[in-house]
């Protein structure tokens, strides 16, 4: 659920929506102007990399779209769409640009679909009484033809090449997603045009399945249905009838059914006028709906039903649309329930639909029963969820009074639907399958909004039965959850108000009391269900009153028949007992999933972690229950509860549940700060300072605390942190001096866990000093006289005293009130910067024996020393580091950033996202000063073995260099957590039905506004906090972006202190300690994301040199004047070329040689492992490598030079890196085959690929050959491709099968483009012909030897293989050479698929058994096409010998003999498919009239004498031959 109200709810000082709209406009116009310049230049005159400049705007555009959806001007949105579409259409030769532009375009189209599509609702979102004439007018109209042409050119049959299949897959998915979003903007007549174009292909499914499935995929994807109601009804019904007939042409094919259902369900959904007559098609539809369920029929057992799989080509193109049978089918059923009131035909169709739905429900009813569980439970869950959700969505969309022209669901239909679905959901509520159980619970609660009288009695009865029963305890959690979801329907419907039975309020009071024992430490599931119920109840009642409180009742409070004060005390008591029961005491590590305990060492990570607990897990209601408990009860009762909780926190010691206890204290401080500080925080503070002082370093004779005291202090400091963080700065400031005494004392204690806890407390203090603050009951409402006051709570009242929840536009909801940090808080923040961030810098350098920045080098000793003195200094060093971390970790992006805008070229209109989490503090240059000190200290830290100190150092550096990264991570976690909770408590839009039924003012209000989903206010505030953090992160991360310079593209644009710091931080990612590498890697990744060009260019050489195990050249030093320049990169390339050129290891080491000679093997491995991890994690490195020719060549040489790493771990990691490199490989566009740089690189790689160059390292020899295959230009580059072709032909004489396989693949690739794609290259043909004459026998030898699949199957059938398990083990343990060949085969094998489709279910038995390898036959056919005489002469001896052997040997006993005969069948098939025996002059001694050509004779002998085992091979050979001959004579 998107909450559009979040922008108006943000603090006014924080964001100007108009200003952000101007920034979006500036970004779009800058991109538009850039593209206009490119379009004005003819394509023939453009540089190959001309379009790369558009990439720098796309991330900013994505950020701006991510935070706003309704505030931007429509003309700017339209401009961005047209510009992005232009980029997509013009960048087919650049995968990255096209994919990223397509992703951005899909985001724009989806985010603004309501503004861009038809406008049949008025400004208030209501349906008008009269049908508007412009109901189908689109703000945007797109042409479908260019999109189809683009997709077919890229996906249908593109020229084959070996490129990164991962990138190709990403581009494909991005383009398909764009079309799925863009089709709603196609003209309505496009549906007919698309079917006229592709319909004949779809109808050919009986004889050309591959073509039909693929065509249907395009029809399903492209056909627009959004404006289908504007089409002429007769033509539309005729088209739908044609679709249904086409559907029936292929029965029992789930992919076929899914593609059709996806199209038909969309058509039914968007037919809001009811123009389509579905009555004649209901039998077909429901037959397929029922057939989609994979359930057993009755008590009978039978073999699995025969189904037809989709061809491989269609799967590759449309796999994402070949699922969703149940989802689309259920959505269509919900759409079929609509009809216009005066349309009797449609109303009759609805009755038929209901009748068939009842029949369908009766068929599957038994499978919902708890005792009848199986694999079908997930299918039932999917179908039920989709059906009910679509039904509820439609009811909410039509509103109170749907106009006559709008097809809607009538009340009688609603009642019938609820009566049909309720028994199914009731059965599945107690299913053993958790997903089905939760789905049915949600279904019941949703249906309760439509027909409460049909659902609520069942829910209430089951609830009471489960609570009272002692034998059905396994049903209790599901029952409580269902009842909690039905609280809103019970209250909104006024349940029991019109009868003598119990009212809804009485039921709720009863539930609140009877479930108190449900808060139980021994039953997590039940406890969470009870907390969900309590949270929902309190979320629905903003004002509660004691029984008989007439004054409160008069103000609108709901009077519950229970003693609120006693109930609140009992709930809190149960919660406190729960926390005590979950704690396992000091020194015990218990099961985190059970929420028990945590050891002393668990507090070492910042002082923020106790043991894990289900109470604080994502999706838990406990934090919100605690907040509501203190705020929804009468003020006096809430204050009393806060007082009790505060005293408990100050007196009890529960380190195992520190997080949960902190949540409780946080809620108390948030709503009752005065009493909580007085009774809890201040006593806790005094207790902590008393226990800290004897152990502080300033105390004479101090000693480290004992383990138990250490854990106690960490726990208490953690609670203090929560107490401080929960309130506003105004509540903290009076106690700031005492808090800082606690912090300083904790940082002086010789205990790292205590220091970490003190640092975390310091972070909270800094954060509170600068942040914008609001919470649940802090409302900006007229007449408000205090937080949680009566006036504030009255502003939340909705109908009948129930809280008004929040829809996406916050209709009639009060805005939150923001408290800004006072000047005293900002002054305190600046003092902390000076005293705890800047002041420790000299002490840090002193402890490391490092001179001031720029004044000297590292000296010996210091914190790196041993003994007690060294330990004491390391403890002091840790204290200084965490002190700095506390400040920068608390201020985060509110600490003024580096002066990136000081560069002259950066002047211009800002285009970054607006916002921050608080007020900016710190003097200009603060971060730069800290960066200089950290850079000076980095070499000494790098030489330490203390991973904890290094980790703290890295955290400081990362937060300093990558402002906004931590907030972004936190916002993502918050969004995930809140979305889980919102899905559990979300009130559907159909809740307006209950208000209509109840009458009164609420009914009138429901009639006058559109119905929308609603969520509790606490969920909306949580999303607001998440938005605040996300905006602050995006704003800080791209604060330097302007319309004239959206990205810093050169290292010289960065401040020198920043560039130096980043270079030093990169070195830690290749540290010998794995823990240090793991700490450094995310920092490098975050920084390279922020500056994907300049920083990636700065850091990449370090990792390339680590791969090659060579020292970087002097030109790459951080302070070098030309660091990051072309000269420095050329020097890097020279170093790596020399490293890769060594044939037998490295030359004899000298003093100036590799740094590996000075270090241990562990250090050497650490460098290469860190480099490989950096490449795996940092996308910016890949993007830069595959764009810059120099860095691309450097990367290839570094990979080849990495063979110097010989340890098992290093080689395994390098193998994975090579696989990743191959899977992402694309040649830089600037590296054209005609360029000198390409010629040089080709010579170097071909030299390394020669089998004799790396004869002692076959793995790298194979990798070099793979690189050559990927580098190889197209045959149209006549001269440039010939060295690669000659190399491939020479590899046929290699003794390695893998090299011969690569050679065969290379040759097939080249000849396919020559033969099938008409890329003429006479020189290549002549070279192949000459090779066949001289070495043609190697072809037959390779065909016989390359039957690895046959060998594996044969091995699995005898004692050697061990059967299927052994085959699976061999697959999972594939070697490097096997894996890398698989990667290459992903691009080549699609050329060899035959028969068309290539799906495993469609392949003949001989192909599956390895007795007929299609690529062999395809290679021979290509050779015979370009050089028929030479191919016949090369293969004649082997084929005639095979025929002679077949005539004399009836049984082929050995695998090698089978391989020879199978190769003969493949070669014969290729020759016959090419028509070679019947070509004039083909062969010797035969002509066109000679029907006894030797190929024909040999084939006849084989067919007459073949063994039974090889019959499949030869039958397939004939089939392949006929296929090829028919293709030769078939008209184009």
pLDDT in tens, 583-600: 877 654 333 333 333 332
Whether omega before 1131 lies within 30 degrees of 0, making that bond cis, reads no
Q: Which residue has the tokens 């009868």?
A: 499
Query: CB of 816 within 8 A of CB of 778?
Result: yes
Residue 1015, phi-psi category: left (phi > 0), alpha (psi -120 to 50), beta (remainder) = beta
Q: Which residues contact 979 (CB under 8 A, 6 or more apart)?
A: none
DSSP 625-654: HHHHHHHHS-HHHHHHHHHHHHHHHHH---
Q: Give the pLDDT score at 1147.
A: 46
Q: Give the pLDDT score at 699.
A: 62
Number of Cα atoms under 13 Å in the Cβ half of residue 789: 11
Q: Which residue has the tokens 């968007």?
A: 270
Number of Cα atoms under 13 Å in the Cβ half of residue 1321: 25
Which of 715, 746, 724, 723 has the alpha carbon at shortest distance from 653? 715
Q: Give the pLDDT score at 373.
A: 77
Which of 985, 995, 990, 511 has the alpha carbon at shortest distance from 503? 511
Query: CB of 4 within 8 A of CB of 811?
Result: no
H/E element, 887: helix 867-891
Query: Would you state the structure tokens that stand for residue 1291, as one six-digit string?
Result: 């590899």
> Dihedral (C-alpha) 1261, 1262, 1265, 1270: value to the nearest 10 degrees?
-140
- Distance of CA 1526 to CAs 205, 1220, 1311, 1491, 1529, Å? 20, 41, 20, 19, 5
Question: What SS3 class is residue 691?
Answer: helix
Query: What is d(CA 1390, CA 1398) in angstroms, rounded to the nearest whole number?
Result: 9
Query: Would you state the structure tokens that stand for residue 1324, as one six-digit string?
Result: 């290549």
Question: Cβ–Cβ contacts within 10 Å for residue 1247, how many?
Answer: 16
Q: Give the pLDDT score at 999.
A: 77
Query: What is d(CA 360, CA 1043) in angstroms, rounded to the nearest whole number?
Result: 60
Question: Cβ–Cβ contacts within 10 Å for residue 401, how many?
Answer: 13
DSSP 943-994: T---HHHHHHHHHHHHHHHSTTHHHHHHHHHHHHHHHHHHHHHPBPGGGHHH
DSSP 1356-1378: HTSTTT-SHHHHHHHHHT--HHH
Q: Which residues contact 668 (CB under 8 A, 6 or more apart)?
A: 626, 630, 641, 642, 645, 646, 676, 680, 726
Q: Which residues pair with 339 in a beta bridge?
A: 408
Angle between helices 1126-1141 and 1094-1108 (to 10 degrees): 20
Q: Give the pLDDT score at 553.
A: 67
Query: CB of 88 within 8 A of CB of 105?
Result: yes
Which of 626, 634, 627, 624 has the alpha carbon at shortest distance from 543? 634
Q: Give the pLDDT score at 1360.
A: 45
- Output Rg (C-alpha) for the chain, integer angstroms: 36
Q: Which residues pair with 815 in a beta bridge?
A: 780
What letters, b where the CB count within 10 A reaches 16 and e where it falls short, cover 227-246? Answer: bbbbbeeeebbebbeebbeb
Residue 779 dihedral angles phi and psi, to the nearest 5°: -115, 140
Query: CB of 936 within 8 A of CB of 788?
Result: no
Query: Would you state the structure tokens that stand for residue 90, as one six-digit string?
Result: 């013009």
Residues 926, 929, 933: CA angle, nearest 5 degrees: 140
CA 1157 to chain centre: 43
Signed CA dihedral, 448, 454, 457, 461: sign only: negative
Query: What is d(CA 537, CA 980) in angstroms, rounded to the nearest whole number?
Result: 18
Query: What is d(CA 239, CA 245) in angstroms, rounded to the nearest whole number?
Result: 10
Whether omega before 1037 lies within 30 degrees of 0, making that bond cis, reads no
Number of Cα atoms under 13 Å in the Cβ half of residue 463: 25
Query: CB of 1459 within 8 A of CB of 1345?
Result: yes
Q: Give the pLDDT score at 785.
A: 44
- 779-780 and 597-598 beta bridge pairing: unpaired
Query: Would you state the structure tokens that stand for residue 1202, as one six-digit string?
Result: 């990495």
Query: What is d(CA 486, CA 483) in angstroms, rounded to the nearest whole number?
Result: 5
Question: Cβ–Cβ contacts within 10 Å for residue 1006, how many?
Answer: 22
List of the chain residues with pLDDT < 50: 299-304, 588-612, 783-787, 856-861, 1144-1158, 1359-1364, 1367-1373, 1391, 1482-1491, 1532
Query: CB of 586 within 8 A of CB of 600?
Result: yes
Residue 764 dihedral angles phi and psi, to the nearest 5°: -65, -40
Residue 80, phi-psi category: left (phi > 0), alpha (psi -120 to 50), beta (remainder) = alpha
Question: Cβ–Cβ contacts within 10 Å for residue 1385, how many?
Answer: 17
Q: Give the pLDDT score at 817.
A: 87
Which of 748, 746, 671 has the alpha carbon at shortest distance from 715? 746
List, for residues 966-975, the tens digit of each pLDDT value. 888 888 888 8
For the chain, counts of helices (H) and of strands (E): 68, 6
Residue 706, phi-psi category: left (phi > 0), alpha (psi -120 to 50), beta (remainder) = beta
Query: What is d(CA 98, CA 658) in angstroms, rounded to the nearest whole number?
Result: 50
Which of 1151, 1265, 1145 has the alpha carbon at shortest distance from 1202? 1145
- Could you tell me the end-to-end alpha-carbon distance of the chain, in angstroms, rounded to an integer? 52
Query: CB of 669 within 8 A of CB of 677?
Result: yes
Residue 544 dihedral angles phi and psi, to the nearest 5°: -115, 145
Query: What is d(CA 749, CA 872) in angstroms, rounded to the nearest whole number?
Result: 11
Q: Which residues contact 1002 (CB under 8 A, 6 or more apart)?
A: 798, 799, 800, 995
Q: Which DSSP state fits 609? A: -
Query: What is d(CA 876, CA 1472) in angstroms, rounded to the nearest whole number?
Result: 83
3-state helix, strand, coil in the chain (%, to 5): 65, 0, 30
Give the ranges where 271-400 is alpha helix by DSSP (H): 282-291, 312-318, 325-336, 344-364, 376-398
- 544-545 and 558-559 beta bridge pairing: parallel
Query: What is d(CA 762, CA 720) in angstroms, rounded to the nearest whole number?
Result: 10
């Amino acid at each position: 659920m998107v909450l559009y109200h979040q922008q108006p709810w943000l603090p006014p000082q924080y964001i100007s929506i108009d200003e952000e709209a101007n920034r979006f406009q500036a970004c779009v116009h800058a991109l538009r102007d850039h593209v206009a310049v490119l379009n004005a230049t003819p394509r023939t005159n453009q540089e190959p990399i001309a379009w790369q400049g558009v990439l720098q705007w796309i991330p900013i555009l994505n950020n701006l779209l991510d935070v706003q959806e309704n505030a931007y001007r429509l003309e700017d949105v339209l401009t961005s769409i047209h510009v992005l579409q232009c980029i997509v259409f013009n960048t087919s030769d650049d995968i990255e640009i096209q994919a990223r532009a397509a992703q951005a375009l899909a985001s724009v189209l989806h985010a603004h679909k309501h503004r861009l599509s038809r406008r049949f609702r008025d400004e208030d979102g209501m349906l008008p009484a009269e049908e508007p004439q412009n109901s189908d007018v689109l703000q945007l109209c797109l042409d479908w033809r260019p999109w189809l042409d683009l997709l077919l050119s890229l996906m249908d049959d593109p020229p084959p090449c070996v490129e990164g299949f991962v990138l190709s897959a990403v581009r494909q998915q991005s383009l398909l997603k764009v079309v799925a979003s863009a089709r709603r903007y196609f003209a309505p007549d496009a549906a007919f045009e698309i079917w006229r174009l592709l319909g004949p292909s779809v109808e050919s499914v009986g004889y050309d399945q591959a073509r039909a499935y693929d065509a249907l995929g395009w029809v399903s994807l492209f056909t627009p249905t959004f404006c289908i109601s504007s089409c002429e009804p007769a033509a539309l019904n005729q088209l739908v009838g044609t679709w249904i007939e086409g559907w029936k042409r292929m029965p029992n094919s789930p992919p076929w059914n899914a593609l059709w259902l996806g199209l038909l369900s969309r058509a039914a959904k968007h037919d809001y006028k009811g123009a389509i007559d579905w009555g004649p098609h209901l039998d077909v539809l429901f037959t397929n709906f029922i057939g989609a369920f994979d359930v057993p029929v009755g008590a009978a057992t039978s073999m699995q039903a025969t189904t037809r799989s989709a061809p491989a080509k269609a799967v590759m193109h449309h796999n994402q649309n070949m699922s969703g049978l149940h989802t689309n089918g259920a959505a269509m059923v919900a759409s079929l329930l609509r009809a216009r009131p005066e349309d009797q035909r449609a109303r009759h169709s609805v009755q038929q639909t209901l009748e068939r739905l009842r029949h369908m429900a009766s068929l599957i009813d038994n499978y919902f029963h708890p005792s009848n569980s199986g694999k079908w439970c997930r299918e039932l869950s999917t179908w039920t969820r989709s059906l009910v959700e679509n039904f509820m969505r439609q009811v909410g969309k039509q509103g109170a009074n749907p106009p006559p022209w709008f097809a809607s669901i009538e009340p009688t239909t609603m009642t019938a639907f609820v009566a049909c679905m309720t028994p199914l959901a009731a059965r599945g509520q107690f299913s053993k399958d958790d997903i089905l159980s939760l789905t049915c619970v949600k279904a019941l609660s949703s249906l309760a909004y439509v027909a409460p009288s049909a659902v609520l009695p069942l829910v209430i009865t089951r609830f009471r039965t489960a609570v009272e029963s002692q034998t059905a305890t396994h049903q209790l959690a599901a029952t409580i959850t269902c009842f909690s979801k039905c609280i809103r329907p019970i209250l909104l419907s006024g349940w029991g108000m019109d009868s003598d039975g119990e009212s809804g309020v009485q039921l709720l009071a009863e539930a609140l009391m009877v479930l108190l024992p449900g808060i139980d430490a021994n039953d997590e599931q039940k406890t969470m269900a009870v907390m969900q119920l309590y949270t929902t109840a309190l979320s629905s009642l903003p004002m509660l009153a004691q029984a008989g409180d007439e004054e409160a009742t008069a103000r609108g409070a709901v009077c519950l028949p229970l003693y609120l004060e006693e109930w609140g005390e009992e709930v809190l008591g149960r919660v406190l007992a729960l926390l005590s029961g979950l704690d396992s005491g000091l020194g015990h590590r218990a099961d985190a999933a059970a929420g028990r305990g945590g050891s002393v060492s668990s507090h070492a990570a910042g002082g923020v972690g106790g043991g894990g607990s289900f109470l604080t897990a994502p999706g838990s209601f406990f934090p919100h229950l605690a907040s509501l408990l203190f705020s929804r009860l009468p003020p006096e009762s809430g204050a009393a509860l806060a007082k009790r909780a505060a005293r408990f926190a100050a007196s009890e010691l529960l380190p195992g549940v520190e997080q949960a206890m902190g949540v409780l204290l946080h809620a108390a401080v948030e709503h009752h700060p005065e009493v909580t500080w007085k009774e809890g925080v201040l006593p806790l503070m005094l207790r902590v300072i008393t226990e800290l002082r004897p152990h502080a370093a300033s105390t004479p004779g101090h000693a480290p605390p004992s383990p138990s005291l250490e854990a106690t202090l960490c726990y208490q400091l953690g609670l203090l942190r929560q107490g401080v963080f929960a309130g506003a700065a105004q509540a903290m400031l009076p106690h700031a001096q005492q808090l800082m005494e606690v912090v300083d004392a904790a940082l002086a204690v010789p205990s790292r866990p205590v220091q970490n806890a003190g640092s975390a407390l310091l972070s909270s203090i800094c954060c509170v000093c600068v942040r914008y603050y609001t919470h649940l009951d802090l409302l900006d409402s007229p007449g408000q006289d205090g937080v949680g006051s009566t006036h504030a709570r009255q502003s939340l009242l909705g109908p009948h005293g129930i809280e008004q929840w929040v829809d996406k536009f916050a209709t009639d909801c009060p805005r939150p009130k923001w408290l800004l940090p006072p000047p005293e808080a900002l002054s305190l923040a600046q003092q902390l910067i000076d005293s705890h961030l800047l002041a420790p810098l000299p002490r840090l350098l002193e402890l490391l024996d490092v001179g001031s920045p720029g004044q000297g080098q590292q000296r010996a000793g210091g914190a790196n020393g041993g003994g007690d003195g060294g330990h004491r200094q390391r403890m002091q060093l840790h204290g200084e580091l965490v002190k700095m971390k506390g400040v920068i970790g608390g201020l985060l992006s509110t600490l003024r950033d580096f002066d990136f805008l000081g560069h002259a070229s950066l002047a211009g209109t800002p285009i970054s996202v607006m916002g921050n989490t608080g007020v900016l503090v710190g003097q200009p240059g603060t971060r730069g000063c800290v960066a200089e000190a950290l850079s000076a200290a980095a070499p000494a830290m790098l030489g330490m073995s203390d991973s904890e100190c290094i980790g703290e150092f890295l955290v400081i550096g990362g937060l300093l260099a990558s402002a906004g990264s931590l907030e972004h991570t936190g916002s993502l976690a918050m969004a995930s957590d809140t979305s889980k909770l919102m899905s559990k408590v979300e009130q559907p839009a159909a809740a307006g039905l209950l208000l209509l039924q109840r009458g009164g003012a609420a009914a009138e209000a429901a009639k006058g506004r559109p119905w929308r989903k609603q969520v509790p206010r606490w969920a909306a505030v949580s999303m607001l906090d998440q938005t605040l953090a996300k905006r602050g992160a995006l704003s800080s991360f791209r604060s330097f972006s302007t319309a004239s310079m959206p990205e810093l593209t050169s290292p010289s644009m960065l401040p020198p202190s920043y560039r130096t710091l980043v270079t030093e931080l990169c070195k830690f990612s290749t540290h010998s300690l794995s823990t240090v590498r793991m700490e450094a890697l995310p920092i490098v990744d975050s920084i390279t994301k922020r500056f994907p060009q300049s920083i990636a260019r700065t850091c990449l050489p370090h990792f390339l040199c680590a791969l090659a195990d060579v020292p970087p050249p002097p030109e790459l030093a951080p302070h070098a004047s030309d660091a990051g320049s072309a000269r420095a990169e050329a020097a890097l390339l020279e170093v790596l070329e020399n490293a890769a050129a060594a044939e037998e290891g490295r030359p004899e080491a000298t003093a100036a040689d590799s740094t590996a000679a000075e270090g241990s093997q562990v250090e050497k491995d650490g460098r290469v492992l860190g480099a490989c991890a950096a490449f795996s994690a940092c996308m910016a490195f890949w993007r830069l490598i595959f764009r810059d020719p120099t860095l691309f060549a450097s990367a290839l040489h570094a990979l080849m030079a990495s063979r110097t790493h010989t340890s098992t771990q290093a080689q395994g990691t390098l193998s994975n890196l090579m696989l990743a490199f191959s899977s992402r490989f694309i040649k830089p566009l600037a590296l054209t085959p005609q360029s000198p740089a390409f010629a040089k690189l080709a010579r170097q790689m071909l030299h390394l690929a020669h089998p004799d160059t790396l004869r002692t390292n076959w793995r790298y020899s194979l990798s070099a050959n793979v690189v050559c295959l990927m580098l190889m230009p197209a045959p149209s580059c006549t001269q440039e491709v010939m060295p690669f072709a000659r190399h491939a032909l020479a590899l046929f004489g290699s003794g390695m099968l893998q090299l011969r396989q690569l050679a065969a693949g290379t040759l097939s690739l080249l000849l396919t483009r020559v033969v099938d794609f008409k890329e003429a290259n006479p020189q290549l043909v002549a070279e192949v012909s000459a090779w066949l004459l001289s070495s043609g026998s190697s072809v037959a030898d390779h065909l016989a030897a390359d039957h690895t699949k046959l060998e594996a199957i044969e091995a699995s059938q005898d004692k050697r293989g061990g059967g299927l398990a052994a085959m699976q083990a061999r697959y999972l343990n594939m070697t490097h050479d096997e894996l890398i060949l698989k990667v290459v085969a992903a691009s080549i094998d699609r050329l060899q698929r035959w028969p068309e489709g290539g799906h495993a279910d469609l392949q003949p038995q001989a192909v599956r058994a390895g007795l007929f390898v299609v690529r062999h036959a395809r290679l021979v056919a290509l050779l015979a096409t370009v050089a028929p005489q030479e191919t016949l002469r090369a293969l004649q001896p082997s084929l005639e010998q095979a025929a002679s052997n077949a005539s004399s040997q009836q049984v082929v006993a050995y695998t090698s003999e089978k391989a020879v005969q199978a190769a003969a069948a493949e070669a014969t098939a290729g020759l016959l498919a090419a028509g070679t025996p019947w070509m004039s002059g083909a062969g010797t001694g035969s002509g066109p009239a000679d029907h006894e050509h030797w190929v024909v004779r040999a084939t006849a002998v084989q067919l007459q004498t073949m063994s039974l085992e090889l019959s499949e091979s030869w039958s397939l050979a004939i089939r392949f031959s006929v296929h090829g001959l028919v293709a030769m004579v078939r008209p184009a």
